[in-house]
Chains A and B, each alone.
Chain A
Amino acid sequence: MLNILKAIWSQLVTLVEVLRHTFSKADTVQYPEEMPYLAPRNRGRIVLTRDPDGEERCVACNLCAVACPVDCIALQKTEDEYGRWYPEFFRINFSRCIMCGMCEEACPTYAIQLTPDFEMCEYDRQNMVYEKEHLLISGEGKYPGYSFYNVAGKSIKNKDKGEARNESPPVDVRSLLP
Chain B
Amino acid sequence: MPTIKVDNQKLVVKDGDNLLQALLSAGIDIPYFCWHPAMGSIGACRQCAVVQYAGEDDTRGRIVMSCMTAVTDQARFSVATQSADQFRKSVIENLMLNHPHDCPVCEEGGECHLQDMTVMSGHSVRHYEGKKTTYRNQYLGPFIGHEMNRCITCYRCVRYYQDHAGGHDLNAFGSRDRVFFGRVESGLLESEFAGNLVEVCPTGVFTDKTFSKHYTRKWDLQSSPTICQGCSLGCNTYTSERYGQLRRVQNRYHHQVNGYFLCDRGRFGAQFVNAESRIRQAGIRNSQGLYDATELKTAIGIARSIISNASTIKGIGSPRASLESNQALRELVGQNNYSNGMTEVEQAMLQKIIDVLRSPIPTPSMMQTEQCDAVLVLGEDVTNFAPRLALSLRQATQNRAKTLALGVHIPLWHDAAVREIGQSDRSPLVIVTPTEDRLDEVASHVLRLAPDNIALLGDEICHAIKDEDNGTASDNVSSVAREIAGLLKQATKPLIVAGTSLQHPGILQAALNIAITLNQQNISAGFFACASESNSLGVAMLDNQHSISDIMAEQPETLVVLENDLQRRLGDRFDASLAGIKHLIVLDHLDNPTVSVSTLVLPAATFAEAEGTYVNNEGRAQRSFATFNPAGDITPSYELLDQLRSVKRHIDEIHHVIANSIPTLAGIVAAAPAASFRIEGAKIARMTHRASGRTAIDANISVHEPTPPMDDDSPLVYSMEGQHEQAPANLRAYSWAPGWNSNQSNHKFQQEVGGSERTGDPGILVLTGGGEIKTGDVTLTHRRLVPELHIFGSDELTNSAADLATLVTAPYLRMHGTTAQSLGVVQDDGVSFEVNKQRFSFAVIVDDSMPADSLAYPLIPATVVLTNLDDIQLSKAESWTKAPASGQRMITTDRSQ
Residues of A whose CB lies within 8 Å of any CB of B are 59-63, 65-66, 68, 70-77, 79, 85, 89, 91-93, 95-96, 108-109, 125-126, 128-129, 131, 148, 151-154, 161-162, 164, 166-176, 178
Contacts and interface: CB of A to CB of B under 8 A. Distances in A.
Interface in B86-143: 100-105, 109-110, 129-137
A153 B102 contact: yes
B174 A171 contact: yes
Nearest to A82: B896
B839 interface: no
A178 B176 contact: yes
Given A65-B693, A76-B214, A129 B135 contact: no
Contact of B131 (A63, A66, A108, A167): A167
A92 B695 CA distance: 9
Nearest to A166: B131
Contact of B700 (A95, A131, A172): A131
Contact of A61 (B109, B696, B702): B109
A173 B104 contact: no
B694 interface: yes
Contacts of B702: 126
User: Interface range on chain B: under 10, 10 to 19, 20 to 34, or 35 or more?
Assistant: 35 or more
B100 A152 contact: yes
A32 B110 CA distance: 45
A86 to B, nearest CB: 10
A25 B691 CA distance: 49
B46 to A, nearest CB: 22
A59 B180 CA distance: 27
B690 interface: yes
Nearest to A154: B105
B408 interface: no
B147 interface: yes
B699 A74 contact: yes
Interface in B2-46: none
Contacts of B136: 161, 170
A71 B693 contact: yes
A93 B696 contact: yes
A130 to B, nearest CB: 9
A79 B104 CA distance: 13
Given A59-B105, A61-B109, A91-B699, A171 B180 contact: yes
15 contacts: A65-B692, A66-B217, A71-B692, A72-B696, A74-B696, A74-B699, A85-B105, A91-B696, A152-B100, A153-B101, A161-B136, A168-B131, A170-B135, A171-B135, A178-B175
Interface in B557-595: none
A74 B100 contact: no
A151 B702 CA distance: 39
Contacts of A153: 100-102, 132, 134, 147, 149-150
Contacts of B178: 171-173, 175
Nearest to B149: A153
A113 B661 CA distance: 64
A162 to B, nearest CB: 4
Nearest to A169: B134
Given A153-B150, A170-B135, A178-B176, A74 B692 contact: yes
B677 interface: no
B185 to A, nearest CB: 11
Contacts of B703: 93, 95, 125-126, 128-129
Contacts of B109: 61
B147 A129 contact: no
Task: Decide if the interface of chain B is mainly helix, strand, loop or mixed.
Answer: loop
B840 interface: no
Contacts of A74: 692-693, 696-697, 699
Nearest to B698: A74
A166 B98 CA distance: 10
A99 B251 CA distance: 39
A75 to B, nearest CB: 8
B134 A166 contact: no
B215 interface: yes
A158 to B, nearest CB: 16
A59 B132 CA distance: 22
A59 B699 contact: no
A62 B133 contact: no
B101 A109 contact: no
Contacts of A170: 134-136
A73 B101 contact: no
B219 interface: yes
Interface string B152-166: 000000000000000
A164 B695 CA distance: 37
A154 B695 contact: no
A164 B182 CA distance: 23
B135 A173 contact: yes
B700 A71 contact: no
A62 B217 contact: yes
A173 B173 contact: yes
Contact of A108 (B104, B129, B180, B697): B104
B609 interface: no
Interface string B436-465: 000000000000000000000000000000
Most chain B CB within a 10 A radius of its CB, from A89, A96, A153: A153
B101 A161 contact: no
Contacts of B216: 62, 76-77
Given A85-B105, A92-B696, A153-B102, 19 more contacts: A65-B220, A66-B217, A76-B214, A77-B214, A79-B212, A91-B699, A108-B103, A129-B699, A148-B104, A152-B102, A153-B100, A154-B105, A161-B137, A166-B132, A171-B133, A171-B180, A173-B180, A174-B173, A175-B175
A161 to B, nearest CB: 5
A156 B108 CA distance: 19
B692 A68 contact: yes
A27 to B, nearest CB: 35
B695 A96 contact: yes
Nearest to B99: A153
A62 B697 CA distance: 13
A131 B136 CA distance: 36
A96 B104 CA distance: 25
B882 to A, nearest CB: 29
B132 A76 contact: no
B101 A152 contact: yes
Nearest to B697: A74
Given A166-B131, A171-B178, A91 B100 contact: no
A109 B129 CA distance: 21
A79 B133 CA distance: 25
B104 A66 contact: no
Contact of B105 (A61, A65, A75, A93): A61
B177 to A, nearest CB: 8
Contacts of B696: 71-74, 91-93, 96, 129
B695 A76 contact: no
A93 B131 contact: no
